[in-house]
Amino acid sequence: MNITLLILLPLLTAIVILLMQNATQVKWVSMMGATLQFVLAFVLLFSFYKERQLGNTSQMLFELKYNWFPSWNISFHFGVDGISVAMIMLTAFVVIAGVLVSWNVTKMTKEFYFLLILLSMGAYGFFISLDLFILFFFLEIAVIPKYLLIGIWGSGKKEYSANKLALMLMGGSALVLVGLLGVYFSASIHSFDLITLSLLHIPIQTQLICFPLLFVGFGVFTALFPFHTWVPDGHSSAPTAGSMFLAGISMKLGGYGCLRVATYIMPEGAKEYASIIILLSVIAILYGAFATMMQKDLKYINAYSSVSHCGFVILGIGMLTKTSIIGSVMQMVSHGLMTALFFAVIGMIYERTHTRQVSEMGGLLKRMPFISTVLFIVGLCSLGLPGLSGFIAEMTIFMGSWQHPDTFRRVATILACLSIVVTAVYILRAVTKISMGPLKDEFKNLTDATWNEKLAALILIAGILAIGVAPFWFNDLVSPGAEIIMQKISPITIGIK
Amino acid sequence: MPNVTYIALIPLLPLAAFLILGIFGRKYFKNTSGIIATALLLISTLLAVYTAYGYFFEYGKVDGIYQKLIPLKYTWLQFSEGVSIDMGIIIDPISVMMLVVVTFISLMVHIYSLGYMKGDDRFPTYYAFLGLFTFSMLGLIISSNIFQIYIFWELVGVSSFLLIGYYYDKPSAVAACKKAFIVTRFADVGFLIGILILSFYSNTLDFNKLIERLTTPESNELKNAVAASFLGISALTWGLVLVFIGGAGKSAMFPLHIWLPDAMEGPTPVSALIHAATMVVAGVFLVARLFPVFSISSPNALSLVGYVGAISALIAAVIACTQTDIKRVLAYSTMSQIGYMMFALGVSKYGGEDGLGYTASMFHLFTHAIFKALLFLGAGAVIHYIHSNEMKDMGGLRKYLPITHITFLIACLAISGVPPFAGFFSKEEILLAAYQNNKTIYWVALITSGLTSFYMFRLYFSIFWGRTRPSSFKRDCDEVKGEGGFVMMLPLVLLAFGAATAGFIPFGHFISSDRITLENKFHLMFSISPVALGLTGIIIAMWMYKKENNKPEKFAAMSSGLYKAAYHKFYIDEIYIFITQKIIFNLIARPTAWFDKNIVDGMINATGEGTKEISEKIKTFQSGKIQQYAICFLVGLISLALLFIYVWK
Amino acid sequence: MQPGLYHILFISTVLFFIGVFGFFTRRNLVTMLMSIELILNSVNLNFITFNKYVWPNKLDGLFFTIFVIAIAAAEAAVAIAIIINLYRTHQSIDVENAEEMKF
What are A4-26's pLDDT values in tens digits?
888 999 999 999 998 888 888 88
Could you tell me the pLDDT band of residue B604, with boundaries at 50, 70 and 90?
confident
The secondary structure of residue A440, as a DSSP letter, is P
Tell me: the pLDDT tens digits for B76-134? Answer: 888 888 888 888 888 888 888 889 999 999 998 988 888 888 878 888 888 899 899 99
| B61-62 vs A74-80, strand pairing mode | unpaired
What φ, ψ does residue A63 adopt, rounded to 5°?
A: -70, 145
Q: Are A277 and A328 in contact (CB under 8 A)?
A: no
Average pLDDT of the residues of chain A? 88
B26 touches chain A (CB under 8 A): yes
CA distance C2 to chain B (A): 31
DSSP string computed for A314-373:
HHHHHHT-HHHHHHHHHHHHHHHHHHHHHHHHHHHHHHHHS--BGGG---HHHH-HHHHH
CA dist B530 → A411, B272, B308, B526, B533 (Å) = 48, 27, 21, 8, 5
Q: Do chains A and C touch (3 or more CB pairs under 8 A)?
A: no
Report the pLDDT value the prediction gives residue C77, as an integer from 0 to 100.
94
Q: Yes or no: say if C32 and C23 are a contact pair by the CB < 8 Å rule.
A: yes
Spatial separation of the C-alpha atoms in residues A52 and A33, rounded to whole Å: 28
C32-45 pLDDT, tens per residue?
Answer: 999 999 999 999 99
Q: How far is CA A178 from CA A138, A188, B265, in A?
A: 16, 18, 60
Q: What is the DSSP letter of A249?
A: I
From residue A139, how far is each of A133, A194, A237 by CA, in Å?
A: 10, 15, 22
The torsion angles phi and psi of B90, rounded to 5 degrees, stand at -115, 135
Domains in chain A: boundaries: 5-489
Question: Distance between CA atoms of B325 and C87, rounded to whole angstroms?
Answer: 89
- Contact state of C100 with B624 under an 8 Å Cβ cutoff: yes
Residue B478 reports pLDDT greater than 50 = no
Alpha carbon A157 to its chain's center? 24
In tens, the pLDDT along B375-411 reads 888 888 888 887 777 777 777 777 777 888 888 888 8
Minimal-distance CA residue of chain B relative to A436: B168
Residue A82 carries which side chain, given as an amino acid letter? G
CA distance C52 to C66: 15
Residue A189: burial class (beta carbons within 10 Å; 0-12, 13-18, 19+) = exposed
Report whether pLDDT(A495) > 50: no
**Of B49, B69, B48, which Cα lies nearest the Cα of B60?**
B69
Q: In this complex, which of A417, A424, A470 lies closest to B192 when CB atoms are compared?
A: A417
Q: CB-based contacts of A448: which residues, under 8 Å, 6+ apart?
A: A367, A368, A369, A370, A371
Pairing of strands B69-80, B233-234: unpaired
Percent of chain B with pLDDT over 90: 6
What's at C14, amino acid-wise?
A: V
Please state, in angstroms and rounded to a whole number, the distance separating the CA atoms of residues A153 and A452: 20
Mean pLDDT confidence for B251-279: 86
The DSSP-derived string for B402-462 is HHHHHHHHHHHHHHHT-TTSHHHHHHHHHHHHHHHH-HHHHHHHHHHHHHHHHHHHHHHHH
pLDDT of residue A387 exceeding 90, the answer is: no
pLDDT at residue B467, as a whole number: 73
Q: State the pLDDT at residue B473.
A: 53
Q: Across residues A219-237, what is the average pLDDT?
A: 88
Domains assigned to chain C: 5-101 (1.10.287.3510)
The predicted-structure confidence for A124-155, as pLDDT tens digits, reads as follows 999 999 998 999 999 988 888 889 989 888 88
d(CA B573, CA B579): 10
| Torsion sign over Cα B296, B298, B299, B304 | negative
Do residues A240 and A185 touch, judged by C-beta distance below 8 A?
Answer: no
CB pair distance less than 8 Å for B625 and C103: no
Q: Which residues contact A135 (CB under 8 A, 6 or more apart)?
A: A125, A126, A129, A194, A257, A261
- Is the CB of residue B560 less than 8 Å away from at least one CB of chain C? no
CB A338 within 8 A of CB A389: yes
B169, B600, B601 member nearest A439 (Cβ): B169
pLDDT tens for each residue of B143-171: 888 889 999 999 998 999 988 888 888 88
Burial class (CB in 10 A: 0-12, 13-18, 19+), A91: buried
Give the SS3 label for residue B229: strand
SS3 A88: helix
* Torsions phi, psi for B134 (to 5 deg): -60, -40
Pairwise CB contact (< 8 Å): B79 & A369: no
* pLDDT grade for C10, boundaries at 50, 70 and 90: very high
Mean pLDDT, range B420-434, rounded to an integer:
83
Where residue B603 falls (left for φ over 0; alpha for ψ -120 to 50; beta otherwise) is: alpha
User: Residue B80 forms beta bridges with which residues?
Assistant: B83
Q: State whether residue C27 is helix, strand or coil.
A: coil
| C neighbours by CB contacts (3+ pairs under 8 Å) | B
Of B619, B624, B631, the CB nearest to C24: B631
Q: In whole angstroms, how far apart are CA A137 and each of A177, A327, B636?
A: 10, 28, 33
Question: Percent of chain A beyond pLDDT 70?
Answer: 99
Q: How far is CA B180 from the centre of its chain?
A: 9
For the segment B189-243, what is each residue's pLDDT rounded down to a tens digit? 999 999 988 888 888 888 888 888 888 877 777 777 777 777 777 888 888 899 9
B233–A contact, CB cutoff 8 A: no
Min Cα distance A95 → chain B (Å) is 26
Q: Which of B224-238, B612-626, C17-31 holds the top average pLDDT?
A: C17-31
Subunits in contact with chain B (3 or more CB pairs closer than 8 Å): A, C
Q: Kindly state the average pLDDT of the residues A226-235.
A: 88
- Alpha carbon of B630: minimum distance to chain C alpha carbons (Å): 7
Substitution target in A157, A224, A324, A395 with the highest count of B β-carbons within 10 Å is: A395
> How close, in Å, is residue B608 to chain C by CA atoms?
19
Q: What is the mean pLDDT of residues B169-195?
A: 89
Pairing of strands B69-80, B65-66: unpaired
Residue A177 pLDDT greater than 60, yes or no:
yes
Q: Is the pLDDT score of B479 beyond 60?
A: no
Other beta carbons within 10 angstroms of residue B208's beta carbon come to 15
Provide the pLDDT confidence category of residue A332 given band limits of 50, 70 and 90: very high
Residue C78 is predicted with a pLDDT of 94
Q: What are phi and psi of A399, to 5 degrees?
A: -60, -40
Instruction: Assess whether pLDDT exceeds 90 at residue B639.
Output: yes
CB A415 within 8 A of CB A337: no
Q: Is the pLDDT of residue A486 over 60?
A: yes
pTM of this structure: 0.87
Q: How confident is the prediction for chain B on average, in pLDDT?
A: 84
Secondary structure class of B390 (helix, strand, coil): strand
Q: Between these two residues, A453 and B586, which has the higher pLDDT value?
A: A453
ipTM of this complex prediction, to 2 decimal places: 0.91
Rounded to whole angstroms, the Cα distance separating A41 from A47 reads: 10
Distances (CA, A) of A380 to A386, A420, B159: 9, 11, 11
Question: CA-CA distance, A116 to B543, in Å (whole number)?
Answer: 78
CA B496 – CA C32 distance, rounded (Å): 107
Pick C62 or B527 by higher pLDDT.
C62
Residue A354 binned pLDDT confidence (cut-offs 50, 70, 90): confident
- Give the nearest partner residue to B625 out of C20, C25, C99, using CB atoms: C99
